[in-house]
A and B are shown apart, each in its own frame.
Chain A
Amino acid sequence: MKRIFSHPKALRKVATHYCPGCGHGIVHRLIAEVVDELRIRQRVIAVAPVGCAVVAYHYWDFDGCEAAHGRALAVATGIKRFRPENIVFTYQGDGDLAAIGTAETIHAANRGENLTVIFINNAVYGMTGGQMAPTTLSGQKTSTTPSGRQVSLTGYPLKISELLAQLPAVRYVERVSVHSPQEVMRAKKAIRQAFINQIDNLGFSLVEVLSACPTYWYMSARQAMDWVRDVMSKEFPLGRIR
């Protein structure tokens, strides 16, 4: 009998610390599946962020490195330049990649570093208790925008993927979501492409994943999925950006 579904080798059989309905677990698994399918588990080095996914390296079964908040792409640059034969990716949230790490992100992309970036956009800081993120939607309530994000005071949701797509050295940018099985399949395809680009030495590839945070959106898991579909993906349209 042909086996068509099993636990990915690259994903450890441990319980994660993520909240019910959180998108991190789904994306961790998609990465593990892609790593298995491309047979690169023994070449991969992950760079984890500071944020909810801070211990992501404990969930995958391959080499991993910590990075200070926002510095993942500088750390990944150091690893990849010294070990170009390895497959190096960063896994970063919106605060990490698009607020405190904006400079590292833009300059790694502008240098065309041959890296893969998995960018989790959930529109809040989850780890620290639901503060406003650079990607928080206008009017969205967070612990630091208690009456809703007011763009006149705090600016607009930052579309960093669209910004990065302007840079000539960037190979591939796509925004996906994991709010439905269909979108999960699309997300996996994009993640796979971002890894294949690195294997083929094509340069900087980034996949932005819209990911639910029911806990700090103050919703049920189901409501959160619907909110990604009906509200968040209107502000952050899905599809290939570059």
Chain B
Amino acid sequence: MGRLAESKTLMSGNEAIGEGAIRAGCDFYAGYPITPQNELTAYMARRMAEQQRIFIQAESELSAINMVLGAAAAGARAMTSSSSPGISLKQEGISYLAGCQLPCVIVNIMRGGPGLGNIAPSQSDYFQATRGGGHGDYRCIVLAPDSVQEAHDLMMLSFELADRYRNPVILLGDGMLGQMMEPLKLAPFNSLKRGKSKQWALTGCLGRQPNVIKSFYMQEGQLEEFNRALQGKYKRIQMQQQRWEELYISDARVILVAYGTMARITRSVVRRLRQRGERVGFLRPISLWPFPQRAFRRIVERRPRANLLVIEMSYGQMVEDVRLAVEGRLRVEFLGRSGGGIPSQEEITRATARCRRR
């Protein structure tokens, strides 16, 4: 226990995300206040200054995401964070970042909507995150942690994937994950020589031809060709970056599917039902885009008679991807609440029992 206490530190999800960014080598942060992610902005204000990196409180979400675009274009590891209504405001910038193929990390600590909604945790931005949100045929990589530790660790991965694919990465959490505190094992500092490998970045054209960062293609056929190249990249990401966690699938009759905070509650229910000898399985998508279709195809092959129960803090968004992944070959049930409501262990247990009877 003594050793454990030494190697771990207690942090909120918001702070753990901030420290993850620091250790991943984030050079530039711009943000705007919004609950329930304010601790992250405040943490970055302090830590970025300590590290002699750049922190800006912008005048708006629009400005923050466009500052990130500028810094990313100049070769920085850049990020912003916000919560649902603020993320809506960032959509224009995210579309441009995708169109300019610029790496960056965007943290969304989701709250209830639509509109101003409330500040309770929610998962109702799944469509916005995974479908694009802004205009045009583009995708963001979307990662959804379910613990403070994973939120911290996925920040490291987020910056790596952003740079590898020159693409925006969204870390999708919710108010619960942002606010709660858990013991955290800190990741080592990333020692990469930042900016060196970014031949495309704007640095001034000393010793090379000028670089231009743009998403604007006016000549006939150019934009279509560019879009084809983008789609090729998205296909590669789909092949290479599907991530998930699964438990007790091999003999499961009902498989519960959830992500983020909802997956924590669901996992507890699954463990309890297993202790009672019930053949219940658990699947947690970690990458929401690319959606882990491979995991579901395997279930279709290995457990062709299983029923799936998808549980969300929304009125049914990820469930659409689950249905697409199983292509109608498995029964898919749904349990969801939104606007501040979170499906309880009892509700999940009852819904699981209903699935089993079918």
Contact = CB atoms under 8 A, between A and B. Distances in A.
Contact of A41 (B62, B70, B96, B205): B205
A57 B63 contact: no
Interface in A35-92: 41-45, 47, 54-55, 57-58, 60-68, 71, 74-83, 86-87
B96 A82 contact: no
A226 B139 CA distance: 51
B54 A81 contact: yes
A82 B93 contact: no
Nearest to A83: B74
Q: Please list the 9 inter-chain residue pairs (A to B) with the smallest Cβ-Cβ separation, ordered nearest first.
A: A78-B70, A74-B66, A78-B71, A75-B70, A107-B59, A78-B67, A71-B66, A42-B206, A66-B214
Contacts of B63: 71, 74, 77, 103-104, 107
Contacts of B69: 67, 71, 74-75, 78
16 contacts: A43-B204, A63-B210, A64-B210, A65-B212, A67-B69, A68-B92, A71-B66, A71-B69, A74-B58, A74-B62, A75-B73, A78-B67, A78-B68, A83-B74, A104-B63, A106-B59
Nearest to A75: B70
Contacts of B78: 78, 82
B200 to A, nearest CB: 11
Interface of A: 41-45, 47, 54-55, 57-58, 60-68, 71, 74-83, 86-87, 103-104, 106-107
Greatest chain A CB density within 10 A among B56, B59, B66, B211 is at B66
A57 B67 contact: no
A82 B28 contact: yes
| Residue among B64, B210, B212 with most chain A CB within 10 A | B210
Contact of B203 (A76, A83, A106): A83
Contacts, number: 136
B204 A45 contact: yes
Contacts of B344: none
A79 B74 CA distance: 5
Contacts of A75: 66-67, 69-70, 73
A79 B204 contact: no
Interface in B64-107: 64, 66-76, 78, 92-93, 96, 100
B210 A65 contact: no
Interface range, B side: 35 or more
A157 B54 CA distance: 37
B27 interface: yes
Nearest to B214: A66
B315 to A, nearest CB: 32
Given A67-B66, A74-B66, A78-B78, A42 B204 contact: yes
Given A42-B204, A45-B74, A77 B100 contact: no
Interface SS of A by simple majority: mixed
B203 A74 contact: no
A57 B212 contact: yes
B186 interface: no
Contacts of A104: 59, 62-63, 66
Contacts of B59: 103-104, 106-107
Nearest to B100: A66
B125 to A, nearest CB: 21
Given A63-B212, A66-B214, A103-B60, A78 B66 contact: yes
Contacts of A82: 27-28, 54, 70-71, 74-76, 78
Contact of B205 (A47, A62, A67, A107): A62
A45 B202 contact: yes
Given A58-B212, A63-B211, A66-B215, 13 more contacts: A45-B202, A63-B204, A65-B70, A65-B214, A67-B66, A67-B70, A71-B63, A74-B62, A74-B64, A75-B66, A79-B70, A82-B54, A103-B63
A110 to B, nearest CB: 9
A68 B93 contact: yes
Nearest to A48: B214
Interface in B147-195: none
A64 B212 contact: yes
Contacts of A68: 66, 92-93, 96
A107 B58 CA distance: 8
A71 B66 CA distance: 7
B30 interface: yes
A239 B71 CA distance: 34
Contacts of B28: 78, 81-82
B273 to A, nearest CB: 50
A78 B204 contact: no
B213 interface: yes
Interface in B10-33: 27-28, 30
A47 B202 CA distance: 11
A43 B70 contact: no
A66 B66 contact: no
Nearest to B195: A82
Interface string B193-226: 0000000001111110011111110100000000
Given A71-B93, A103-B59, A107-B63, A78 B72 contact: yes
